[in-house]
Amino acid sequence: MSYQVLARKWRPRTFAELVGQEHTVRALTNALDRQRLHHAFLFTGTRGVGKTTIARIFAKSLNCELGVSSTPCGQCAACREIDAGRFVDLVEVDAASRTKVEDTRDLLENVQYAPSRGRFKVYLIDEVHMLSSHSFNALLKTLEEPPPHVKFLLATTDPQKLPVTVLSRCLQFGLKRLPTAMIAGYLGQVLTQEDIPHEESALRLIARAGDGSMRDALSLLDQAIAFGGGRVEQTTVASMLGTIDRRCTVDLLDALAANDAPALLQRVAALNELAPDYATVLADLLSLLQQVALAQMVPDAPLAGDLADPEDVMRLARKVPPADVQLFYQIALLGRRDLPLVPEPRGGFEMVLLRMLCFRPAAPAALATVPHESSSQELPPRPAPTVSPVPPLTPPTSVPVTPIRQPSAPPASDWGRLVENLGLGGMAKQLALNCILIAREGNDFRLGLSPAHAQMLTKAIQDRVKVALEQHLGTPVNLRFQIGELTAATPEDERKQRRTEQEQAAIAAANRDPNVQAMVEMFDAQITRVRPLDGD
């Protein structure tokens, strides 16, 4: 007897055997038991979640010789023929291969005739979204008013492509992606029944690779049994799937946290010996970062998945600052999207990791004690730097910073007028307006900036301000920035204060206007805001 693959051998034959999709099963069983049957059902969801399986069980429930119920006997001729795929009154159509309107018309010509064997003639149309617009038009009338002995069961992975006229004539059930734990549990039951030795960790790897699809997971399980010589073990499954030991992602994140580029590249070189799928490695790193972020924000929350030991997750949560975790996650997410575009996967993966180091905020201590210099001066080194230094970004608010005083500096209005004459725009202008001029000695400018706006202080924006000053003054200038709590108002603070005073004066003047007073009395209104016409 020929071998039958697990996905077919273990396909559920009753609603009770179905794994997951409880919301759909509950609705269908209630409809069958109470004889409240619609004439058209639409099952949607990703591949391998049970759309066609549910439709076949439903067809069996309708045509079981013992009567319509949610528990077909499975022993009568109708049930056995439906399970074998040869029941004459169950017409299964693959819409992907029969998209022409002529095929649909041929199909509907027999709708008017009574069923030959069963109680209902059931049309199961798989991947219905592949039908052409003319085919849908031919189907609409019959779908809206079918004969009482006909039921339509439609299945699709892309319901957005169906015309709304079709959707409005069907009861729609959205099937969910199956959780990894549920898939792994079912795979364990199958292997126990098949008497095949297995490891739970290997089943979790297969369940994750199934990506929410039970059919895909069962197909991978077949492959794993053959690959492992009749055993399903973690090492062989990991080799088959091209996955890596979960410790590798922990080591990568440890190197990132230590800002150690040589160690990071050494780990990538060792990883390359395993010939991994780097997109999968990035996916594992994303999952680990998500677990670390969750442990940082909600320490008592249970950790899902099996990518790392809880002790490693909690250790990394204490070691890596939350801002770095969020930055690493975003860069890894974008890197995974762009990985198919790189000329060589390993190089693309290394660039993603190096990008995490390059864009990582600098050490808080350096920001609090060392002022930023212009592009002509060397920036302070970061702890154990291994890549080109990057202008520091905003320091954490918990780091104490010394107040910046300006004992003999000109008022903010003088600096503000100078900024307005520089012709700056965008972030460069915002940076200049949020600074105070601590001191100016000839062409040497020393500016103060509060920690709240330090994220704008990148080298590119610094250079734009410096170039604008040089062009305005006609001579080279030396521009330095110092981060700290400001003890004087910035031009931006003065502008906001002027705007507030103008709005208050305008509201007071409006309240004195007789016409405004009449409207206030008539409509019981009040003036909440006045917007100046000059747009300042």
CB 448 within 8 A of CB 436: yes
AA letter at 53: T
Name which of 129, 124, 132, 123 is nearest 157 in CA terms: 129
DSSP-assigned letter for residue 506 = H
What residues pair up with 530 in beta bridges, in sequence order? Answer: none
How would you classify the pairing of strands 444-449 and 435-441?
A: antiparallel
Domains assigned to the chain? 6-174 (3.40.50.300), 180-241 (1.10.8.60), 246-358 (1.20.272.10), 412-489 (3.30.300.150)
In DSSP notation, 31-93 reads HHHTT---SEEEEE-STTSSHHHHHHHHHHHHH-TT-S-SS--S-SHHHHHHHHT--TTEEEE
DSSP 3-state helix, strand, coil percentages of the chain (rounded to 5)? 55, 10, 40
- Residues 451, 455: Cα–Cα separation, whole Å: 8
For residue 421, the model assigns a pLDDT of 87
CB 159 within 8 A of CB 42: yes
For residue 368, the model assigns a pLDDT of 36
Name which of 335, 257, 265, 259 is nearest 292 in CA terms: 257
In DSSP notation, 130-163 reads GS-HHHHHHHHHHHHS--TTEEEEEEES-GGGS-
- Residues 357, 257: Cα–Cα separation, whole Å: 9
For residue 367, the model assigns a pLDDT of 35
For residue 332, the model assigns a pLDDT of 93
Task: Classify burial at 431, counting beta carbons within 10 Å of its beta carbon; exposed 0-12, middle 13-18, buried 19 or more.
Answer: buried
CB 446 within 8 A of CB 480: yes
Q: Which two tokens stand for residue 504?
A: 């208050």
AA letter at 418: L
SS3 sequence of 429-474: HHHHHCEEEEEEECCEEEEEECHHHHHHCCHHHHHHHHHHHHHHHC
Q: Which helix (H) or strand (E) holds 9?
A: helix 6-9
For residue 135, the model assigns a pLDDT of 85
Q: Which two tokens stand for residue 153?
A: 């069961």
Which pLDDT tens digits describe the chain residue by residue (536 residues)?
A: 578 899 888 999 999 999 888 999 999 999 999 989 999 999 999 989 999 999 999 999 999 999 999 999 989 999 999 988 889 999 988 887 777 778 788 778 888 888 888 899 999 999 899 888 888 888 888 888 888 999 999 999 999 999 999 999 999 999 999 998 899 999 999 999 999 999 998 898 899 888 889 999 999 999 999 998 989 998 888 888 877 777 788 899 999 999 889 999 999 998 888 778 888 889 889 989 999 999 888 887 766 555 567 888 888 988 999 989 999 999 999 999 999 999 999 999 999 999 999 888 764 433 333 344 433 333 344 444 344 443 444 444 444 444 544 444 455 568 888 888 888 888 888 889 999 988 888 888 989 988 888 888 888 888 889 989 888 888 888 988 888 888 888 888 888 888 888 888 888 888 888 888 777 777 777 777 676 565 44
CB 167 within 8 A of CB 159: yes
CB 131 within 8 A of CB 161: no
Q: Is the pTM of this model over 0.75?
A: no
For residue 190, the model assigns a pLDDT of 93
For residue 356, the model assigns a pLDDT of 92
Contacts of 132 (CB under 8 A, 6+ apart): 99, 100, 101
> What b/e sequence results for 442-454 when a residue is b if at least 16 CB atoms lie within 10 Å of its CB, and e otherwise?
eeebbbbbbbebb
